[in-house]
Amino acid sequence: MSEKMSPFQIAVFAIAIVIIVGSVIVFSMQRGSASQSKIPIDVWGTISADVFNEFQKRINELERDSLFVNYREISPDQFEAVLVEALASGSGPDAVIMSDDLLIKHENKLFLIDYKFYTQKTFKDNFIESGEILLRENGILGFPLTIDPLVFYWNRTILNNEGISSPPQFWDDLLGLIPRLVKRDSASNISRAVIALGEYQNINNAKDILISMIQQSGNNIISRNPQTGKFEAVIEQNPGFTVRPAESALNYFVQFSNPTRDVYTWNKSMPNSQQMFTTGDLVFYIGYASERNFLIQKNPNLNFDVSVLPQSKSIPGQNIKRTVGQVHFISILNRSPKISAAFGALNTITKPENMRILAELTELPSVRRDVSISTAQSSYMDSFASSALFSVPFIDPNVTETNKIFRDMIESVVIGNQNANRAVQRASDELKSVIR
C-alpha cells in the first residue's frame, strides 16, 4: 500500500515541477530567439551597398554569423518612389535605411518599438542627441546609424601666408577677416573670395548653412508638438529677442553679396562654391563631413583643414552650439512579417563594437556616445566628432519645396524686393502650407 506524501515532500515535489517547467520555457525562448536571429531580412537603403556588405561581413567575422541581411541599395533620388510603389503592390523590404528628410512623409510606415523592449533612457544613454528625432511618446521609430555634420573647411596655405593662425570660431570674427583676405583684379572683380555666403544658386548647402545660423541664434525652423504629435513651422517665432532669430540670421547671411558693404566677397556670377574651394580661390568652405574625400579627389594638392562651424554670440551666457547634421537611420516597416527577426538584426547592427566598424567604413563620427574613433592619424575626425555632438537635423517636410522657399527668402532680400522681416514671414507661411 502506498504511503501518503508529507507536506514537506509535496513542497519539494512542487518546487521540482516549477524548476523543470521553467527550464523548458527558458530553453524554448532561447531556441526561439536563436532561430529568429537566423532568419534573413530584406533591407533597402540609400547608403552604399559596398559599405553595408563590408559592414555585415565584418560583423559576422566578429560575432560568428550573427547578422543575416539581404541589402539593396537604391539611389536617394529614386528611393522614395521605389519604396512607395513596392508597398502599394504588397511587397517591399522588412526594414529601411533612409535619411532624416524622409521622416515626416513616411513615419506612418514605420513600426513603433515599444519602450518595454528598448527604454527611452537606454536610447538617450546610447545615442547622441540628434538621434532623438526618432523618439515618440510610446516608443522609438528606429535607430540612428550615421551622422554627417556641417563643418568648416579652410585653406591652410592662404591663412599661413596671411599670418592667420586659425580659422574664426564665431561669425562676428569672420567679418574682420574679409577685407584682409579678399583679392580683386585690376577691374575690381573678386579673384579670391573669402567665404561663399549671400546667394543661393552657386553656394553648396546654402539652405543648411542658413538653417544652422537660425538655430544658433536661438530658434528652430520646424519642430514636433509633443501634445498633438504634429510637426509645426516655428521659423517666425521670437523667443524673447529684440529681433527674430531668423531675421537676424538672414540679414547676416545676405550681407556678403552686397557690393556696398566692407564684407562683400561673393556674387552670383562666381563658380560653384565647392569648385572654387578646390581650385584654391575660396578661403573658407562650408560643407558636410562626407565631402572631405571628394575635396581630396578633386585636388590632392590642396592644403586644407577642417574645424567646427563658427558659432553665434547672439545668446550671451548660454554658449549654445549648433550645426545642421544629416542623420541616416534604420527602421522596421510595420507591414513586415518578420518584425521579431528585424528587431534582432537592428539590435545586432547597433551594438557598440559594430557601430565602431560602421564609423570606420564611412569615415564619419559614430552616433553612439560610447564609441570613439582614434584621431591619432586623422585629425579631421576630432572636428567631425565634436560637431556631431551638437548637430541638429532639419526635419524636412519636402526637400523640393523647402529648397524653393529658402531660395526665395534669400534672393528676395538680396535683390531688394523684401526686407528680412517680411521674407521670414512669407517663408513661415509657405512652410506651414507644405507641412499641411
In what side-by-side order are the strands of the sheet with 113-114?
113-114, 139-140, 135-136
The contacts found for 383-386 with CB under 8 angstroms, 24 or more apart, are: 383/151, 383/306, 383/307, 383/308, 384/149, 384/151, 384/289, 384/306, 386/308
Dist. CA 394–CA 323, nearest whole Å: 10
- Per 3-state DSSP, what percentage of the chain is helix, strand, and coil (rounded to 5)? 45, 20, 35
Give 233's strand partners. 222
φ and ψ at residue 3, rounded to 5 degrees = -90, 150
315 CB-near residues (< 8 Å, 6+ apart): 217, 218
SS (H, E, C) 193-224: EEECCCCCCCCCCHHHHHHHHHHHCCCCCEEE
- The number of beta carbons lying within 10 Å of the beta carbon of residue 58 is 17
The reported pLDDT for the residue numbered 201 is: 96
| Partners of residue 325 on adjacent β-strands | 149
pLDDT per residue rounded down to tens, the chain (436 residues): 445 555 444 444 444 443 443 333 333 333 344 445 579 999 999 999 999 999 999 999 988 878 999 999 999 999 999 999 999 999 999 999 999 999 999 999 999 999 999 999 999 999 999 999 999 999 999 999 999 999 999 999 999 999 999 999 999 999 999 999 999 987 879 999 999 999 999 999 999 999 999 999 888 899 998 888 889 999 998 877 778 899 999 999 999 999 999 999 999 999 999 999 999 999 999 999 999 999 999 999 999 999 999 999 866 556 689 999 999 999 999 999 999 999 999 999 999 999 999 999 999 999 999 998 776 667 789 999 999 999 999 999 999 999 999 999 999 999 999 999 999 999 999 999 999 8
**DSSP string covering 348-373:** HHTSHHHHHHHHHHHTS--SBTT---
Q: How many other C-beta atoms are found inside a 10 Å radius of the C-beta of residue 73?
A: 17
Calpha distance 238→217 (Å, rounded): 10
Identify the pLDDT of residue 267. 96
Interstrand relation of 282-288 and 190-195 (parallel, antiparallel or unpaired): parallel
Return the bridge partners of 285, or none: 153
Helical axes 352-362 vs 339-349, angle rounded to 10°:
70
Q: What is the model's pLDDT at position 35?
A: 46
The terminus-to-terminus CA distance of the chain in angstroms comes to 83
- Distance of CA 130 to CAs 49, 242, 321, 382, 392, Å? 24, 29, 13, 18, 6
Q: What is the DSSP letter of 139?
A: E
User: What are the φ and ψ backbone dihedral angles of 233, each rounded to 5 degrees?
Assistant: -80, 125
Q: What angle do CA 288, 294, 300 make, to 5 degrees?
A: 125
Q: Residue 315: its pLDDT value, please?
A: 61
**Three-point CA angle 400, 139, 232, nearest 5°:** 35
Q: b/e string for 290-326 if b means 16 or more Cβ within 10 A?
A: bbbeebeeeeeebebebbbbbbbebeeeeeebbbbbb
| Residues β-bridged to residue 311 | 170
The one-letter amino acid at 237: Q
pTM metric for this prediction: 0.89
Cβ atoms of 184 and 271 within 8 Å: the answer is no
Listed residue (100, 98, 105, 97) closest to 69, CA to CA: 97
Question: Any idea which residue has 575635396 for its cell?
Answer: 295
